[in-house]
Amino acid sequence: MWKTIVRRTIMMIPQMFVLSIIIFILAKQMPGDPFTGLITPETDPSRIEELRIKAGFYDPWYVQYYHWITNAFQGDFGQSYTYKIAVSTLIGERALNTFWLALLSAILVYVIAIPLGMIAGRKQDTLYDKSITLYSYISYAIPIFVLGLIFLFIFGYRLMWFPTSGTVDVGIEPGTLEYYWNRIYHLILPAMTYAILGTTTIIQYLRSEIIDAKTQDYVKTARSKGVPMKRIYRRHIFRNSLLPIAAFFGFTITGLLGGSIFIETIFGFPGMGQLFINSITSRDYSVITALVMLYGFLALLGSLLSDIIMSIVDPRIRID
């Protein structure tokens, strides 16, 4: 078990190193620079050049990379040219919002997907199964930004059941019960939008696992001994079918953290996704490279978590 964790962790080091080089080079290939937006008819071009030289924009790329990665290991990703604060501070403020959105979305994904997958697998080829399969196909086919706009228009603007932007209403005192409830209230609509589209894989996987488990020898043996089907489903089929689903949790939570760009942009939610889009449009290289590095690390971390969960569930895949 520990050998598996240590080896997978060590493998992440060269992966992150290669990823950091690719990210840094691609960011530098973007047209313009953070100082381009400062140019106006009244701006002195020599002043802009001074800022570029001071920022090291004319140094060789490997020199710039060395300074950047050295500071990054110390938690210093530079300063945002747009927001005029440290990148680590800026991302830290937004990351907490994205984390709570991803956590609520993940909870809703499993709350919706597991019962539907169980019903579809147990009642194979019935109206229930066909209806759930149709729902899966539709949710898989709808782009996330289309569903987000539909929900925003219906539940936000027409019915006015949920807020349409922000994380909390203005004027609510922080630390109070009303404050925390209001923050949850702002999370419900974007989290539900994400959850509906994120259930497809789990539903279909769980359905296939249950259908396959029903043909296994241990189920046939239990039935031949007169064990009631409800008991077989509860103690054998469902339990064994749910074990592989646990391995998806690592990918699910990191996928939600990294894939929140559209949701946060549509719902005006101030998280890392919205910050990423704003940084691209303003050519804020320090924020862009830091966020992409963070997303890459989250992807590798999700893979590591899934491997750890699978090694706990199935000891056969552990590294001896």
pLDDT in tens, 310-320: 766 666 555 54
Buried b (16+ CB within 10 A) or exposed e, 80-95: bbbbeebbbebbeebb
Strand partners, 203: none
pLDDT digits (tens, 9 = 90+) for 69-104: 887 787 777 777 777 788 888 888 888 888 888 888
**pLDDT for the residue 225:** 79
Give the model's pLDDT for residue 276: 85
Percent of the chain at pLDDT above 90? 0
- What's the pLDDT band for 293 if we cut at 50, 70, 90? confident
> Helix (H) and strand (E) counts for the chain?
14, 0
Judged on CB neighbours under 10 Å (0-12, 13-18, 19+), 228 is exposed
User: For the chain, what is the mean pLDDT?
Assistant: 78
- pLDDT value of position 22: 85
